[in-house]
Amino acid sequence: MIKYEILLATYNGARFLSEQLNSISSQILLPSRVLVSDDSSSDDTVNIIKKWSAQVNFEVSILPPSSYQLGCRANFEKLLNASRFDYVMFADQDDIWDVSKAQRMLDTMIFFESRYSTSTPLVVHSDLRLIREDGSLIAPSYFKYQGINSSKDDFCSIALQNIVTGCSCIVNRSCIAYALPFPSNIILHDWWIALVTSYFGKLIFLPEPTLGYRQHSSNLVGALGVVPLLVRRFFQLFTESNPLDIWIGSPLRQLRAFSAKYILPEDHMYKFIVFLFNPNPFMRLYGAYRLGLSKHGAFRTLTFYILMIFWKPGR
């Protein structure tokens, strides 16, 4: 039987964790192992996991705690370094998986590995249902709610706007080998993995949701509709110290980290990525244009190019 493992990163997740764990142990196709890394929780998170692990008939391993708090990105990197199976799924602590999630994701992965080979980095990801804290439905499709086009999965599109949500995906061992180790200035594990896979392998999208993606005040990354997102961005211009560096600088620095790790200086793409950090705004625009950087929709793309003029790349 083909085996897979689940990587669960936790931090003070006691409020919703039991529902997530129960949805994992209710899968039609159970995991061979659930590997957990807790990031110095001060609540009952670890005890909940230990109690649950005694009730299930598959392996549950909790990694030794780090000497300092890692944060989400480094915590998932720690889990990936400790993973050992050919197929890996990521789990957040507050979602609710459909009982068929693992089976559908793994079946799709096996099919596309037979088409492209096991040596090709592959990510299979799906749509998500958005749910409230109490589990009630906000929206049946995360992609429609966010105005995201799942077909914009080429490298330069992923560089500006990620379409892969970690809790909705499965990755193969080749994908993990290419992605590790993470550079220090990537944004999140799922965005980095999507970027690497879009360049070296294939992203495969399942249009139907496979889980309930819970929205609450403690979400590290949440989902806002298009209009609320624009309103929030407008107010951030006046309330945050350097919002342009978050919106523009963070993905471009991640792209530069990718080019430093993988792209040879002789490649024309490397040259245009360097242009993105030129002090001259017109050189930055030229680099973005030559790379074909774009977001989802004409308005988002136009806004990006306008903000590129005002963004200060620094050193």
pTM > 0.75: yes
Clarify whether residues 116 and 69 are in a common domain.
yes
The residue written with tokens 């950090």 in the block is 277
Name, in order, each residue with C-beta under 8 angstroms of 164's C-beta and a sequence gap of 6 or more: 123, 125, 158, 190, 191, 193, 194, 203
Residues 42 and 151 in one domain: yes
Which mean pLDDT values do the consecutive 10-residue runs of the chain (315 residues) have?
A: 94 96 98 97 97 97 93 96 98 97 98 97 98 95 95 95 97 98 95 98 98 78 57 61 84 96 92 96 96 92 94 82
Q: Is residue 220 part of a domain?
A: no
Identity at 16, one-letter amino acid code: F
Note the pLDDT of residue 264: 87
Domain that holds residue 291: 226-310
Task: Report the pLDDT value the prediction gives residue 246, as an integer from 0 to 100.
Answer: 85
> For position 221, what pLDDT does the model report?
52
Residue 250 CA to its chain's centroid (Å): 15
CA distance 118 to 112: 9
**Terminal CA-to-CA distance of the chain, rounded, Å?**
52
Residue type, 65: P
User: End of a domain among 161, 182, 214?
Assistant: 214
| 186, 258: one domain | no
Q: Within this chain, do residues 16 and 73 fall inside the same structural domain, yes or no?
A: yes
In terms of domains, do 175 and 60 share one?
A: yes
Q: How far apart are CA 53 and CA 51, in angstroms?
A: 6
| Spatial CA neighbour of 34 closest among 25, 26, 42 | 25
Helix (H, G, I), strand (E, B) or coil at 171: strand
pLDDT confidence of residue 132: 94
- In-domain check, residue 201: yes
88 HSE (CA, 13 A, CB side): 27
* Helix (H) / strand (E) containing 96: strand 96-97
Helix (H, G, I), strand (E, B) or coil at 35: strand
Q: What is the pLDDT of residue 303?
A: 92
